[in-house]
Structure 1
Amino acid sequence: MIGYIDSVETMGLVDGPGIRFVVFFKGCKLRCLFCHNPETWTKDNALEITSEELLKKILKYKNYYVDGGVTFSGGEPLLQDEFLIDILKKCKMVNLHTAIDTSGVGIGNYEEILKYTDLVILDIKAIDNEGFNYMTGQNIDEFYKFLDICQRLNKKLWLRQVIVPGINDTEKYILKLKEFISKIKNVEKIELLPYHLYGVDKYQKLGIEYKLKGVSAMDETHLKELYNLLIQKD
């Protein structure tokens, strides 16, 4: 089984619990305004790799992953469903903890994928269709479909949302997000991630218009205030 990946990280510390081997898949349907990895949108210049070859790379570092494991990120790993299922199965056969970092917008086979997934790191782009379409250029329906299956299968969830100045950095939005999250079960962790400018230069190199030009990086103090509001007990 052949997969198309952008890169790997052997000592990831933010993509799931513990130290992790992180695989960044190529390909994504979404065009998030704040995306800092536009080079992963298509399969251009992808590293083609078999699941066997990828597992060998992972196993070189297995001793470091006692409290960690493997995370499949992107791009969007759900778009390479058959390859993802194959490598997830192989990881579980050698007792590795598995996580997927996803927008929830794939092409199906979600139940089979989740059968071999210990943790879902779900990236919330917006909580209604209007906001989702503005942020990503896509409809929100597939996100809700994936989330519903996660809920039915009782999958452990980490929830993340990027906060962008002038778009979703208001108390009003955070309170709506809080209400949305309150209805989701098995949430182990919630993160608000600050919008940053690290990927802006990539757009120019790729000849892609950067639609948030002029937007400043998210203020960390304000972000902390919003996070405190989000986790505050009613």
Structure 2
Amino acid sequence: MVSVQNLHKTYRGALEPSLSGLSFSFPQGRIAGLLGPNGAGKTTTISILCGLVKADSGDVRLFDLHQDAHHREAIKKLIGIVPQQIALFPQLSAWENLVYFGNLYGLKGKPLYASIATYLQRFGLESAGKKEVYKFSGGMKRRTNIIAALLHNPKLLILDEPTAGVDVQSRNMILQFLKEYNRQQGVSILYTSHLLEEAQSLCDEVAIIDQGRLVLQGQPSQLVQQHPECRNLEEVFLHHTGLAVRD
């Protein structure tokens, strides 16, 4: 699904690199977690995977395609991206937003409208579809944001903090959907979160990164077993990344 080898990235004017030889890989069909403290390089990594940021050096492959100028358009068709910030037009309704994003993927007419209606119902938004997004709660915006990334049936769904700032019910709905979507559709999922309990229950495998490098990778249950002094994935995470507060 994803292979990252020796990835380096330093932003112009930055005192420290965002990525310093980061390497990891995840097989197809998994729910994979990319975990790390603030400033670890998670969002930079996702931006490089999506082709939004260019790495200084290193190799990135998605489904055996190099993330480069030759394959960028092909890769765009294979991935759906749910960014950390809400990427919707607030003055438009949920329906209008989803039609717009569907059109960007080349989707039109009855098939697009049927897909939108199905997802609005699945995410509990069918009665709010004609309402402007600025009137939505945080959870409703998050759910609509996710639908926008699903319309073209991606092979890889990338989510950056998809449950940040949402209510318990919305979080539960999002996590249940991701599990079902992966199991029933076989879609690979790459997910970042600061909620380690959530990651432990959702992910088949996780990679913990810090200071732009891989620290640890494996199945959550196995990582906990390898650290007898730790009771859960959060304690394993703190054991390897430390207790210091990050900016």
TM-score by length of 2: 0.31
User: Which has the higher Rg, Structure 1 or Structure 2?
Assistant: 2
Higher RCO (CA-CA < 8 Å; seq separation 6+): 2
TM-score by length of 1: 0.33
